Amino acid sequence: MTSEKLAELSIFYGAVQKNKELTQLVDLLKQKPKLNNVLEIGSASGGTFWLWCQLASSTAQLTSIDLPLGRFNNGRTYNEKLLLGYKKPNQTVSLIRKNSHSPKTESKLCEVLNEKELDLLFIDGDHTYEGVKDDYNRYSKYVKNGGLIVLHDIAHHDQVKDCQVDKFWNELKQQHSVVEIIDPEYDDRGWGSWGGLGVLVK
């Protein structure tokens, strides 16, 4: 399937993403070795989770963490059965319905990983400065060298004051070589400036 079609379907399944940005991320991921182990923080209704299942290897382990009624959910429906149905037959899925900032959640992830390392960490949960920083500091250590860490919403959000991923991203990019995928033009949701995907190779 083309990257554009995958991005389009991911948005159809509920991803809160800009099509052009997600298409570029899919292009980039397709150039990398197959994903065998993926962690997503922020499942919402499963749109991006569907995409990781599509892109990952046929035997991949995929984990998605989401806090019921967490911030930045904006009333999106969570349907566990639906998310479990997105996996390929031999993929393994763990859905963790807990606060990503809790040490208990981190322990649960360690159990799931069973000493394996992540190929992709996608951070799209708590978008406050402290929240995204905690997710990065807590979970980036489980990513293998050469693996990818992707943050969503690195663009400045005019209308959502507690969306502060840009502030953390601007610090992070001083210390690492990064790729920024930002489509400043397209605003189908009428939110003004929003979105942006930040990619960091560990």
Please give the residue ranges that form the binding site for ligand SAM (CB under 6 A): 14-17, 41-42, 44, 47-48, 65-67, 70-73, 76, 99-101, 124-126
- Comparing CB distances to ligand SAM, the nearer of 131 and 145 is 131
Q: Between 37 and 100, name the residue whose CB sits nearer to ligand SAM.
A: 100
Q: How far is the CB of 98 from ligand SAM (least distance, A)?
A: 7
Using alpha carbons only, how large is the chain's radius of gyration in Å? Answer: 15
CB of 96: closest distance to ligand SAM in angstroms? 8
CA count, 13 A, side-chain hemisphere, 136: 22
The single-letter code of the amino acid at 35 is L
Residue 42 to residue 64: CA distance in whole angstroms: 7
CB of 174 to ligand SAM, least distance (A): 25
CA distance linking residue 199 with residue 15, whole number of Å: 18
Specify the residue, 125 or 147, whose C-beta has the smaller distance to ligand SAM.
Answer: 125
The separation between CA 95 and the C-alpha centre of its own chain, rounded to angstroms, equals 14
